[in-house]
A and B are shown apart, each in its own frame.
Chain A
Amino acid sequence: MKEKFEFNPFAGVLEEDLEQIIVPVFDIDAISNQIECTDSLAIEFIGKQGRGKTTHLRYLQKQLNSYPIFLLTKTTANLSNILEHDADVVFVDSIHHLSVFERLQLFKAKRVVIYTTHWSRKYTCVLINKKYYSIPFKGITVAVLRSIIDKRLRLASNNSIHIDDVFVNNDLQLLIKKFGDSYRGILNYLYEQYQ
């Protein structure tokens, strides 16, 4: 089976392949419209780790690529970098690396902030009277999991394989039973199987 693929289908994807593997949880046109037409808005992608928040944030930013994305880590969380950027719409991954005061500053300074978080930051928005809404990343279905896995298999395959035959529904149900809605957990497990 492994030789039917040019690379491990469950490895991290390259930036250029992102659009080919994602199964969006939101309507891209509707959300893009809101971002472009609203005076003040915060959109939070909320959920536990490994549920697809960052993947969706990167995907959405690729569709609206005139706006910058800031992937914050413990060492790269620098608010001034974000504030110094001219754009009035910013994408921020892992906003928890900013303090409450920094988040307040950010929400005040930028017209639209789209960010990922484990916990809701809506109270920060309430404090400065900024509109907000949350997109939850929670739950999993066999159909969505199949779609994600099939897309990855198709991207990595050397076209000598019928993707539909690789996983049966029972396999997917077992994966969900073992890992719940942790897509990262499922993909890491499958990575080991295919490596």
Chain B
Amino acid sequence: MSKVALERDIIIEESDNNYRVRGYVSISCSEIVDVELIEGFVYLEVRGRMASQKHHVVSFTISDKKRLQTAETYKFPFSFEMHDLDIGTYKGKNVNFTYKCEAKIHIEDDDIDKIDRSFFSKVKSFVTSDDSLKVSTYFHVDDSLSTYQIEETTTSLDFKTNFLMSFIASLLTGGIYAFLIPEFNAPYMVFGVFLIIAVIISIKLLVGNALGEVTMETLRDEDAFLCTIKKTKKFSLVNQYLYYQIIEKVVDDRGTSSSTVRSTIYTSKKEKISTRNNDVQVKFSYPEIKNIHSNYLGDVSIYWVMNLKGTTYLGFILKYQCEFTVRQRRQVLMS
């Protein structure tokens, strides 16, 4: 007895900027088949240079019982809304966020063995472990109307270790070793590493205390945000610049070792700030690109950092940095 060829496809007709998605599943078969149920599922897939993730977003029923006649093509329309989503479609350097719509076609028990399982349609389709037939497609989530919104907060900027500090620490340690250490062996090497770390921490504390605490206050300002930097009188750096960056971070925990990749996906315009005033306010605009708001999803994170750079009188560049949170606000149009 020849098997029944069941051709199926899934089409997304529209994914509008109001987070409504509309499409249909089409099925045609070479013999009469009774469909018990067609279910729809939407998943967020996070694929990249790490263990990929799949998150369930929404489920819905596409069709109940239906007898499919020979050589007819049936269209089963469906629609769903995704107002509660926090993340849209995103293509990054080390990770992509994509949305997949999947239909599961459950065939009546009496007919399931008649179906030709080797059939492979033009789109991806498989037989699942529960004997249903699967067909899926990817679609774009339109975030064109969404806007960014900063979380208003006050936070301290951290003084960052730089190459110069490591160099000075290594030089000091090298000097101590050259004059005081009689031989170069494993315990002394370990001691040397600890010494370098201790010297770096000491320099950091010393310079940090000398320049005083720096804090940042963030405020919303319609389509932009305001950043107020508060310094003390001790803050004597010249050529001060303020700018923010958006970093994509991926932790690759696959296997017996772990590695982390960080890529800068956006750098704002560098704003020169006054060295005379202790408090300075800078207005920053948000980036044009959507879906790069602060986000933490397992091994993947996107975070925003504010950088304050300045130069010492000796010409050395020092950097202060702090993380801040920016949400993406979705605008749902009333219809």
Contact = CB atoms under 8 A, between A and B. Distances in A.
Interface of A: 6-8, 11-16, 49-50, 53-55, 73, 93-94, 96, 116-118, 158-159, 184, 188, 191, 195
B135 to A, nearest CB: 13
A12 B256 contact: no
A191 B49 contact: yes
Interface size grouping (class) on chain B: 20 to 34
A187 to B, nearest CB: 9
A93 B256 contact: yes
Given A6-B124, A11-B47, 13 more contacts: A8-B48, A8-B96, A12-B50, A14-B52, A14-B53, A15-B54, A49-B255, A53-B256, A96-B256, A116-B255, A159-B120, A195-B94, A195-B96
Interface string B176-193: 000000000000000000
A117 B255 CA distance: 10
Given A6-B138, A7-B98, A16-B54, A188 B257 contact: no
A15 B47 CA distance: 12
Given A6-B138, A159-B123, A13 B256 contact: no
B256 A11 contact: no
A8 B250 CA distance: 16
B93 A13 contact: no
For the complex of A and B, list the 8 residue pairs with the smallest distance between their C-beta atoms, beginning with the closest: A11-B47, A49-B257, A54-B255, A12-B52, A94-B256, A12-B51, A14-B52, A7-B47
Nearest to B299: A12
Contacts of A96: 256
B122 A159 contact: yes
Interface of B: 45, 47-54, 93-94, 96, 98, 120, 122-124, 138, 252-258
Contacts of B123: 158-159
Give the secondary structure class of A's interface: loop
Contacts of B45: 7, 14
Given A7-B98, A14-B45, A159-B122, A118 B51 contact: no
Contacts of A188: 49
Nearest to B258: A73
Contacts of B256: 49, 53-54, 93-94, 96, 116-118
Contacts of B54: 14-16
Given A11-B52, A14-B54, A184 B255 contact: yes
Contacts of A11: 47-49, 52, 96
A61 to B, nearest CB: 15
B55 to A, nearest CB: 11
Nearest to B129: A16
Contacts of B51: 12
Nearest to A74: B258
Contacts of B48: 8, 11-12, 191
A158 B94 CA distance: 22
A170 to B, nearest CB: 26
Contact of A50 (B52, B53, B93, B255): B255
Contacts of A13: 52
A66 to B, nearest CB: 15
Nearest to A12: B52
27 contacts: A6-B98, A6-B124, A7-B47, A7-B98, A7-B138, A8-B48, A11-B47, A11-B52, A11-B96, A12-B49, A12-B52, A12-B254, A14-B47, A14-B53, A15-B54, A50-B255, A53-B255, A53-B256, A54-B254, A94-B255, A94-B256, A96-B256, A184-B254, A184-B255, A188-B49, A191-B49, A195-B93
